[in-house]
Amino acid sequence: MKPKPTTLIIVRHGQTIWNAQGRWQGWQDSPLTELGIEQAQTAATELRDYAVDRAFTSDAGRAVQTAEILAAPHGLIAIPVPELRERNYGGYEGLTSVEIEERFPGSRYTAGRDTRENWRPPDGETLSEVRDRVAPFVENLVRDFPGQTLLLVTHSGVVRVFDSICSGKSLDEIWSRQPPNACIFVLKALVGHLEVERDFLPATENVLGK
């Protein structure tokens, strides 16, 4: 019997205080702004026609806060998991780009010197390492819950990893595709295969969070 694809609804958290201030977050956290709460509520309305079976979220507070808004209409409580965390930005976390350059001069990603996948912030993670923790987790979800619809609330770095896997392109190639706050990315998944059903950047550019 042909296996049924699992539907993965991947949503980035709503805008946070540090997003609004231009501060790098990573594994550190800040709460949603009023706009971020509105973005999550708008996303929840967008998802009302999906029959969501289970919900998982990054264990970061901003993602949990977003997931509570998204999961409630489906009668679900999202399960926090560390695998869906944002990339660890190490020493950059809590700083603006200007402050990073002052404190860690010359350490930022430089095209030609590094690849996006392998560049490491001071004491942080590479995107390859993010992919290595996200991909097996999702593979297990697809194997364990065939044919179900799963909500995953996460972060821009993780959304970009999914985008790279689906497109078969490197992170350098897709980097200009910035996932907006509370964007929705819907994938159909079989073990070893991901296919985009709804892009997080519609052609109309009428995207959540803008």
Give the total residue count for the chain. 210
Q: How far apart are CA 119 and CA 209, in angstroms?
A: 28
Tell me the two tokens of residue 3.
Answer: 């296996």
Tell me the two tokens of residue 174.
Answer: 């897709």
DSSP 82: G
Residue 13: active-site member: yes
Residue 58, CA atoms < 13 Å, CB-side half-sphere: 30
Catalytic pick from 13, 83, 93, 125? 13
- Other Cβ atoms within 10 Å of 107 Cβ, number: 16
Catalytic pick from 83, 86, 93, 125? 86
DSSP 140: H
Residue 86: active-site member: yes
Tell me the two tokens of residue 151.
Answer: 């909500």
Contact 122, 90 (CB under 8 A): yes
Which residue, among 193, 185, 146, 188, has the nearest Cα to 165 in the 3D structure? Answer: 193
Where in the sequence numbering do the catalytic residues fall? 13, 86
